[in-house]
Structure 1
């Protein structure tokens, strides 16, 4: 008699779907409001940045200053509204009682509910910052982007989101989210219009022009905003140990003290702004070291002016581009403003730039009416481009159209002076220009040559 075969009982196997079930946080990130928070944050920053791209593309400082302003004034209130909406979901879905009966503590439950929206907001912010830096990178010629200020702004967005969630849990009103966004915008933006040092506690406070923060400024702002939000979260969740909120609150107050005491001293000019690079023309053309990439184009735009000044005695030895008054042997280069004279690493209007440079050479801080035709002739002869010709023709046509005989007489006098200067032999003209530049800027009616 043979023994029956041994049959192993079937082992219960966990279905593959259950063994690899996604984490609840992953489910919230993929299907919850986190996606919409990321998209809204990204578009909130992208649209105004794209509309003002000419004002920041081409400079790391302008790019990061513009991103910081948009983050604090626009993305910050949006993050508070997103957190507030997430905080009110439990009341709208009527799952608050289920949350109270859960095994996790109140703080853990709060963090599990808050982190998806926080990560969504940070994802949208990171994408917008990366896009802005990549859009500016092809046109930047000096400097580097800073890492700590964007990280401080990320802490600020995290704080706004978690604080908004606390408000959403406490205020059972469907319009609480947009109302909180409006209030946050006012609270963040209003202090920036005040002159008191307390205004620097607003994360929206920033220097008027791009500047480098002192090393501790990003840490202080992160501790200030993060400490306040952490204190609010602890007070809301740790009902029996609310005194624990004193620790983050103390950190926030300790960070606020140096911010208020230092004020505008938290930023200092970029050292590159105090230096300049020059070409080898005569006179030399110099641009600020932060704009070194523009030097070939600026030199090309001023090549006509510098070529006509070559060999002229008493002419400026260089066009300088520093934030100071030029020396007696220097001339001020027209300002290179992003979005105006410079757009995406190029001069917006090279002819106008050259005309402004020549106009600065002959400008006088006095009412020297006798020298007006002479100054205009020197300016137009140095420039000698189509813009200068069109300006003269337009002024003469406008004077004749309006019947202004005095303006017609001035236009005719300017034309005669320019004709006489252009008709001079080269050697005689260089000598005459040498005498002219010897008295350039003088208000003495008898001190300079006249055409």
Structure 2
């Protein structure tokens, strides 16, 4: 039994020896496996620098709730403000730019400054100022990252509002193009207000600072418009009311340099390591301010002869509108059709009825005002009053001196105007008309056509030569 067990044990050992030998190649193969494990793991191919997704602290700041909410608030507020006065700016490109400037700066500006002021006090409210100061970022970078939401998002809201309004104006504008330079200047001013409001929030440790900043911003933008001094043009929110003008080519860039330089100087003076660098944008802002203050009474606007050029119909007399109101011409011709019919064949009748205040009007033309008043989106809304204005200048030109006292010629000319362009219910209005007016108007309605034509010819000859004293009643 003992000999048999020894044989079995030796057989087991003999069979195990090859297995141990078989393990050696496996151990030798472990070298490459360890190298493979220590080698860097294969991952997705690196993305080129220009195609990397937008990541980092700036994205984190911009995607937090406060920035998008401020931008959406500015967008909704400006859209509501513009929609409320759509009939006043859906006329020309320049009127659209004017109302965008007013809404964007006088309405969106205080809102942006107040939101930025609240954002500026964020670290103080959270008590994280000392913690952030230990980070490797410079104070200027930390300030820029914190202020970015209330600078960029309001500008985005303003630009989206501008895009909507420009698309709407495209249907109604008759001449010109969008004033992109003015839009860029307004967007820059809005961003500058965000920077200044943010710095106010950092400096003033008071929870009521945002509303006070909003009120101060509104006053700083609006009050210069009531002044006649040289500092008037330093406010980027000033309106313009003449559709036949155009801005100077350098006005928008200089305005951008003024607002951006002022905001940049304040930011560098607050957060830069070397505050002397603030002198560079401050010098740029001072240079721009000096240029703007040299504009004088005319401001940054100059006449545009091409915009004031007349476009006329083929009627008798011709009805002429400026190029900026060319799409209103069919409605104006229809409103003045009755006046033209009554003046047809009458001697000394003006050859044209032109839009007033245009440089293309002659002294012999009759002028009609109210194109922006009696038209809405190129459609006439009060044709009777529009025709009354044209008849008034036809029968009593504006170029004639106004008498100091009421004369009999006034009653006659008023009767002629009311006959040329009657308004329903005018006779029933108080006070009761003068007897000479009543007799003249009744006579014009009942006179034979030939006799009325001769009398109207004599009347127009005396009236348009400013000799109303020679007028006799019919």
Give the whole-Å Cα distance in 1 for the aligned partners of 2:321 and 2:112.
41
RMSD: 2.9
1:223 Cα deviation after fit: 1.0
1:335 paired with 2:343, answer no
Map residues 10-409 of structure 1 onto 2, 5 A cutoff.
22-210=55-243, 211-239=245-273, 241-263=274-296, 264-323=298-357, 327-337=362-372, 340-363=373-396, 365-366=402-403, 369-371=407-409, 374-383=412-421, 388-392=423-427, 394-395=428-429, 398=430, 407=433, 409=435
Find the counterpart in structure 2 of residue 413 from structure 1. Answer: 439
Alpha carbons 1:272, 1:290 under 8 Å: kept: no
| 2:471 maps to which of 436, 448, 451 | 448
Alpha carbons 2:414, 2:437 under 8 Å: kept: no
Structure 1 SS opposite 2:340:
helix
1:243 Cα deviation after fit: 0.9
Alpha carbons 1:380, 1:418 under 8 Å: kept: no
Alpha carbons 1:277, 1:287 under 8 Å: kept: yes
Relative distance call for 1:408 and 1:246 in structure 2 (3 A) is: closer
1:219 Cα deviation after fit: 1.2
CA deviation digits over 1:287-328, x for unaligned, max 9?
112111111111111112112222221111111224269645
Relative distance call for 1:418 and 1:29 in structure 2 (3 A) is: same
Relative distance call for 1:370 and 1:441 in structure 2 (3 A) is: farther
Structure 1 SS opposite 2:257:
helix
Which has the higher Rg, Structure 1 or Structure 2? 2
Give the whole-Å Cα distance in 2 for the aligned partners of 1:130 and 1:432.
57
Give the whole-Å Cα distance in 1 for the aligned partners of 2:127 and 2:54.
25
CA deviation digits over 1:65-93, x for unaligned, max 9?
11112222222222222221111111112
Query: When the two structures are superposed, what TM-score results if normalisation uses the length of structure 1?
Result: 0.86
Give the whole-Å Cα distance in 1 for the aligned partners of 2:425 and 2:132.
76
Alpha carbons 1:376, 1:414 under 8 Å: kept: no
Q: Mark the runs of 5 or more structure 1 residues left unpaired by the alignment.
A: none
